[in-house]
Structure 1
Amino acid sequence: MPDSQISVKEEVVLLDGATLQLKWFYSEPQPAQDKPILVFLHDSLGCIKLWRDFPERLAQATGATTLVYDREGYGQSSAFRSTNREQDYLEREADVLEQLLAKLQVNKAILFGHSDGGSIALMAAAKYKSRIAGVIAEGAHVFVEGLTLAGIRTAVHDFRNTDLPQRLHKYHGAKTDQVFSAWSDTWLSPHFRSWNIEHFLPAIHCPVLVVQGEADEYGTLAQVKAIVGQVQGPSQQLIIPGIGHTPHRQARELVLQKASAFIAAIP
């Protein structure tokens, strides 16, 4: 469909003791109530603002009502109540997503998840089949790889030796150190090496689009193969040569085009 005019609304919701920052993009006129809502799930260091204008652009292209939110601990949401993470911390975020969608009375959602957000989206689709109509998983992980750990060690070096903390502070403020250490300490800890969510994949029956840069510094194409090979719903993949971990930024127009077509094909 042609680009739609978009209105924007921000709100804060209280969910299980945490305040979450939300941002909505509405097409004008409002779409039919039975149309799925497009929901964005950010990465391990991300937030609403770090998506930049991509959610709005996809909302314009598809006419879908679109929700972007900061998970607890990130962006403008409340700080982490604990930075001690167990192996199931991403699965718990899938449960939080289900609670949020129920609170907002969103009965059908198409999830666009980047990195950690992609992993959360896959688990949500496996656990909450009646609510999730489709998944776009960009740079998602379903198991730990050596390349992933090497990429995180590089990020730790940059956090200690470059202006990376100052750049992240613009988005996370006083929570910056917690955001970074919660991610890096968890993934680099010995107990996390065995993390694997492949057992969720056969329970996914909705359409899935897997997007990955061929030069992703945090994961190999084995992640894509595992997802596409094990989900039970119709799946497709978009592998982009020369692109790293953030295809929606590094190859924005291509990802917008492919994501729009994928969304349009979902009943």
Structure 2
Amino acid sequence: MAFFMEITYVVFSVLCFCFLLLRWNEMRYRKNGLPPGTMGWPVFGETTKFLKQGPNFMKNQKARYGSFFKSHILGSPTIISMDAELNRYILMNESKGLVAGYPQSMLDILGNSNIAAVHGSAHKFLRGALLSLVSPQMLRDIVLPRIDRFMSSQLSNWDGKIINLQDHTKEVIFLSIMDQIASIDPASRRADYFKTHFFKLVLGTLSLPINLPGTNYRNGVQVRSLIFFHILVLIDMQMHDNFFTKHRHKHTRTLNINLTLLI
């Protein structure tokens, strides 16, 4: 009987502690002017529910709090808008005091200077530089036909097979990008290497910024360095391929080098 009472006391104490911890975290972010919502646990917030439920998390929160609510996901306090008109206003007025923000894990892994992280004049400059690399004529004569040939060859391998469409689509899109920017054969070991490490990097950007062994964040930080090193190797190989850059593959190789430099 005494043992049962002790267990009951421990369970009750843990539940009270969890309740007080949640209340403290809610009170900590209760400021005037913030929309309704919940902040979840300290540090972790509602990240677990967000990653587990996916779009249903947003739908449930919208049904409970409306189209504009607060949360705490991926290590950052977040205001979420699911109102189309408000989102349009924010996107159209980025240079007027409204600045896009991204999770800390994404900034740490992709870098503070990637095109998704910068804003204002810096974003316009990078976007213009990227668009200037691909002219309409190059798209029509080189890029799109190459993508068409690649996709046709990949889709032909799906005949008569039962496949996971989502996984295969992600894989084909990634391999197509590798073919475009670095001329990597999709059947090569290098393609498998980049694919494996790239998906680890993506998982790292969608995780809590906790730099401990075994976490997706730590893995993402590590593979970023590996990918960067191998991209430098590819750049060096392409820059030394003088014969092709001066002859029939001139435009394609130049495009590959420039896009690779900007990754």
Q: TM-score, normalized by length of structure 1?
A: 0.24
Q: TM-score, normalized by length of structure 2?
A: 0.24
Bigger helix share:
2
Bigger strand share:
1
Determine which structure has greater relative contact order: mean sequence separation of CA pairs < 8 Å that are 6+ residues apart, divided by chain length: 1
Larger Rg: 2
